[in-house]
Amino acid sequence: MTAIPDDSGTPALVLICDGCGRSRRGERARPEAWLLLWSQAGGAGWRGRDRAIGPHFCPLCATP
């Protein structure tokens, strides 16, 4: 799944798990938004390709 813009009215990115659909929201959109979101998600156990186009897996789906 890709990291997509948040639709709540605040400029941010949302990372969506390709396995189960869980999401993780970034703080706000800015030039380094993807790198910041992926760094925070990786620290929380998310795994996958380091590109916004994915695939990405939440900690539950990343655990075999």
Convert the pLDDT of each residue in 23-63 to its tens digit: 998 876 666 788 889 999 999 999 999 888 889 999 999 98
Measured distance CA(22)–CA(25) in Å, rounded:
10
Dmax of the chain from CA atoms? 36
User: Higher pLDDT residue, 26 or 6?
Assistant: 26
Residue 63, CB half-sphere, CA atoms under 13 Å: how many? 4
Q: Indicate if the pLDDT at residue 5 is higher than 70.
A: no
* 22-27 CB contacts, 8 Å cutoff, 24+ apart: 22/58, 22/60, 22/61, 24/58
Over range 1-22, report the average pLDDT. 74
